[in-house]
Amino acid sequence: MWKNSFNSLSGSEQLSLIEAAERLFEDGCCCPIACGGGAARPCGAVEDGIKVASYAVHDGEEPPVSGWFGAGNIFFSGCSAKCVFCQNWPISQENNGKVYSIDEFCENVKKLLKKKVHNIGLVTADQYLSRVLRAFYKIRDDLNVPVVYNCNGAQTEKLFEIILKVSDIFLFDVKYASNGPAGELCDIKNYADVNRRCLDMLLERDLKWEEDDMGILRSGLIIRHLVLPNYIESSLEVINLLQEYRERGLNFKISLMSQYFPAYKAVNMEKLERKLKKNEYDAVVELVEKYDFDGWIQGLEE
């Protein structure tokens, strides 16, 4: 019988990963900001419980992830990257959400599973990883679907080591291929270096693309890239970087996104205060097509 990565580990392996994740949180080094812990964590993480903005059956992920019955997404409150254009800013920047105990969290995951979701999708979960895994340990007999790790692409090496062992599907952002635009647009100023280290680790993990008989994804890497207005050179650099990784053997599908609209601080930023132009997006699409990447290219009007 198929088992997800978390349940393929022994109980003692699961517990040791939970404890390792707990130590990272206690030391305040679970993301590249390395805040050192304490009450005022920049990502907004609370000291007890898990702050969640919503538990939702989601049909907007890539087709083999949402499938027919939807992905069972959990949107966690807070984020370490704090991109100036974040379209989920009330959750990621204002830390909206409700704090659940681990037992309450378990009940909500079980409710999603009862709705026959194809997977459990952890959306921006870094700061709560230890408690999420603690919850998974409690409901391990019910957790019979893939775990999707949906992240900003800037995970520390120590946290990502754990994530790689407990996740089956990665919806992994590559936002910038160099630190210049990262420095302008998010709080993780060395984003490109951190992101590249994660890509190296994904390469070492050698994740296979595996679908079930119905075409629903069980395991695989989807790399997402959102194209921003006036940052087309940066997007082209990202696509060239992905080609380099493909040549080195990284197995992934690409998800190129055009859905940018000015939000949050971007509404007052000269370069970002408009939507994408067709000629901008076309330039990026052309390079993706030149490399013949497998995956999905969002239409400009979607």
**Residues engaged in binding ligand SF4 (CB under 6 A):** 28-31, 33-35, 41-43, 45, 80, 126-127
Q: Which is nearer to ligand SF4, 152 or 255 (CB)?
A: 152
Burial class (CB in 10 A: 0-12, 13-18, 19+), 59: middle
With H, G, I as helix, E, B as strand and everything else as coil, classify residue 217.
strand
How far apart are CB 20 and ligand SF4 at their closest, in Å? 14
How far apart are CB 41 and ligand SF4 at their closest, in Å? 4
DSSP-assigned beta bridge partners for residue 73: 56, 121
How far apart are CB 25 and ligand SF4 at their closest, in Å? 6
Q: Which is nearer to ligand SF4, 29 or 113 (CB)?
A: 29
With H, G, I as helix, E, B as strand and everything else as coil, classify residue 123.
strand
**Neighbour count for residue 188 (Cβ, 10 Å):** 25
Q: Which is nearer to ligand SF4, 126 or 173 (CB)?
A: 126
* Phi and psi, residue 160, nearest 5°: -70, -30
Give the residue carrying structure tokens 């984003």: 191
The answer to whether 79 and 152 are in contact (CB under 8 A) is yes
- Rounded CA gap, 9 and 13, in Å? 6
How far apart are CB 263 and ligand SF4 at their closest, in Å? 22
Q: Which is nearer to ligand SF4, 90 or 295 (CB)?
A: 90
Q: Which is nearer to ligand SF4, 41 or 196 (CB)?
A: 41
How far apart are CB 126 and ligand SF4 at their closest, in Å? 5
The answer to whether 26 and 167 are in contact (CB under 8 A) is no
Q: Which is nearer to ligand SF4, 65 or 194 (CB)?
A: 194
Residues 6+ apart with CB under 8 A from 151: 124, 125, 126, 163, 170, 171, 172, 173
Q: Which is nearer to ligand SF4, 145 or 194 (CB)?
A: 194
How far apart are CB 61 and ligand SF4 at their closest, in Å? 24
Residues 6+ apart with CB under 8 A from 117: 57, 69, 70, 71, 72, 145
Strand 217-226 versus strand 98-100 pairing type: unpaired
How far apart are CB 198 and ligand SF4 at their closest, in Å? 15
Q: Which is nearer to ligand SF4, 186 or 254 (CB)?
A: 186
The answer to whether 105 and 135 are in contact (CB under 8 A) is yes
How far apart are CB 1 and ligand SF4 at their closest, in Å? 35
